[in-house]
């Protein structure tokens, strides 16, 4: 029984009740034994069968709760109406810092409700909304809210059908927002135009550290804008561009940017088409860069010429500590060189 399970917990901060086939009626017990008890900081209700009715029950309980800081409802079915109840509660709640609502059939209206919350709530720092259907309208609501909110630190919109218009609104928000350090837009459709808008924001933004733009149909034109921003940006440390449409031309822009950028620590380009020519451009940039520690160029149609170029980086005093070159064509001679390289640099991690 749910009540017995909760009673037997000796953890006084986390209640793990995920993937237990809980339904809306079970939320009364969660409220009684967990939220109303004022003992627990985190409640994980992910992977259950909670709908808008269950969300309403939870919302009423958290409205005045003073102990709960993390609420996870990933992969339920709360929908826009359920979000409206939670959003209403968050206008009053002053302790919840992390809300995860991925996979909950949330659409534009839900984005509007959450946008309104961000304009008023001053405690929420993490909002994860992956695998919903917010689209551009929902992203626009959230982007507009960022202009006013100054507490949110992490925003995930993974797999939400966000295109260039949504990216533009988020970018406009980033120009004024002062606390967001992580923006995750993996598996959307922002394209070159969306990348351009985000790049414009990066030129003035001084807080964003992590930007995830993998699988976004970004080509060389979009990367040119991002690379231009990297020449001026002094905050971004992690840039993820996996599974886009970047070729040697885009890699050249990134290589040029690496010669000037003094902040980027990790660059991920897995699953593009930069080829040997592209990796040579990156190598030229890396030989003048003393800050990039992680480079991922796996699955990029590299052959021995490109691999050899990467190996040559370590002839100088490179700070690169992790190199991913998996799913490329590496000949026996270069494999032997890589083995020797790792032998003389035991802290170096190379994946091939």
Total domain count for the chain? 1
Regions of the chain with pLDDT less than 50: 4, 7-8
Q: Return the CATH number at 225.
A: 3.80.10.10
Whether 141 is in a domain gets the answer: no
Residue 4: predicted pLDDT? 44
- Structural domain of 324: 197-210+218-352
Is the CB of residue 37 less than 8 Å from the CB of residue 9?
Answer: no
Give me the pLDDT at residue 253, please. 98
- The answer as to whether 349 is a domain residue is yes
The overall longest dimension of the chain from CA atoms, in Å, is: 66
Give the contacts of 4 (CB within 8 A, at least 6 positions apart). none
For residue 2, the model assigns a pLDDT of 52
- What is the radius of gyration, based on Cα positions, of the chain? 23
Could you report the per-residue pLDDT of 78-111, keeping only the tens digit for each?
Answer: 999 999 999 999 999 999 999 999 999 999 999 9
The predicted structure's pLDDT at residue 14: 60
Whether residue 75 lies inside any domain: the answer is: no
96 falls within a domain: no
Could you give the CA distance from residue 54 to residue 85 in angstroms, rounded to a whole number?
10
Give pLDDT tens digits for 172-200.
999 999 999 999 999 999 999 999 999 99
Assigned domain for 80 exists: no
Three-class DSSP category at 100: strand
HSE, CB side, 13 Å, CA atoms: give it for residue 155: 28
| Exposure string over 107-122, b if 16+ CB within 10 A, otherwise e | bbbbbbbbbbbbeebe
Contact assessment for residue 95 and residue 123, using Cβ atoms and an 8 Å cutoff: yes
DSSP state of 31: I
Predicted local confidence at residue 7, as pLDDT: 47
**pLDDT of the residue at 284:** 94
- Scored b (16 or more CB within 10 A) or e, 57-80 reads bbbebbeebebbbbbbbbbbbbbb
Exposure string over 242-263, b if 16+ CB within 10 A, otherwise e: bbbbbbbbbbbbbbbbbeebee
Kindly state the tokens that stand for 257.
């940017």
Is residue 71 in some structural domain? no
Tell me, yes or no, whether 111 lies in a domain: no
Nearest to 275 by CA among 253, 255, 305, 254: 305
Domain assignment of residue 95, yes or no: no
User: For residue 179, what pLDDT is reported?
Assistant: 96
Q: The whole model's pTM is what?
A: 0.95
What's the pLDDT tens digit per position in 234-269? 999 999 999 999 999 999 999 999 999 999 999 999
């Amino acid at each position: 029984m749910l009540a017995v399970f909760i009673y037997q917990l000796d953890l006084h901060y986390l209640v793990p009740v995920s993937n237990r086939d809980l339904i809306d009626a079970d939320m009364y017990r969660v409220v009684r034994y967990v939220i109303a008890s004022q003992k627990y900081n985190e409640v994980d209700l992910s992977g259950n069968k909670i709908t808008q009715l269950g969300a309403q029950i939870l919302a009423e309980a958290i409205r005045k709760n003073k102990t709960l800081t993390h609420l996870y409802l990933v992969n339920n079915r709360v929908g826009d109406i359920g979000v409206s109840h939670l959003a209403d509660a968050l206008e009053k709640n002053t302790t919840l810092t992390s809300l995860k609502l991925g996979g909950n059939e949330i659409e534009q209206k839900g984005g509007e409700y959450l946008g309104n919350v961000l304009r008023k709530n001053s405690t929420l720092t993490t909002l994860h909304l992956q695998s919903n259907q917010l689209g551009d309208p929902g992203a626009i609501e959230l982007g507009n809210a960022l202009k006013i909110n100054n507490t949110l630190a992490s925003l995930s919109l993974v797999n939400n059908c966000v295109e260039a218009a949504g990216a533009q609104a988020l970018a406009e928000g980033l120009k004024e927002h002062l606390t967001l350090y992580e923006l995750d837009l993996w598996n959307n459709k922002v394209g070159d135009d969306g990348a351009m808008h985000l790049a414009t924001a990066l030129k003035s933004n001084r807080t964003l550290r992590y930007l995830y733009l993998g699988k976004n149909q970004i080509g060389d034109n979009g990367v040119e804008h991002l690379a231009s921003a990297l020449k001026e940006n002094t905050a971004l440390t992690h840039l993820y561009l996996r599974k886009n449409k970047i070729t040697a031309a885009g890699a050249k822009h990134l290589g040029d940017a690496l010669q000037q950028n003094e902040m980027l620590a990790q660059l991920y380009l897995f699953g593009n088409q930069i080829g040997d020519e592209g990796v040579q451009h990156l190598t030229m940039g890396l030989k003048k860069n003393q800050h990039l520690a992680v480079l991922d160029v796996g699955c990029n149609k590299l052959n021995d010429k490109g691999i050899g170029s990467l190996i040559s980086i370590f002839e100088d005093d490179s700070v690169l500590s992790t190199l991913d070159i998996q799913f490329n064509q590496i000949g026996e001679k270069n494999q032997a060189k890589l083995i020797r390289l790792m032998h003389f640099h035991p802290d170096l991690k190379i994946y091939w």
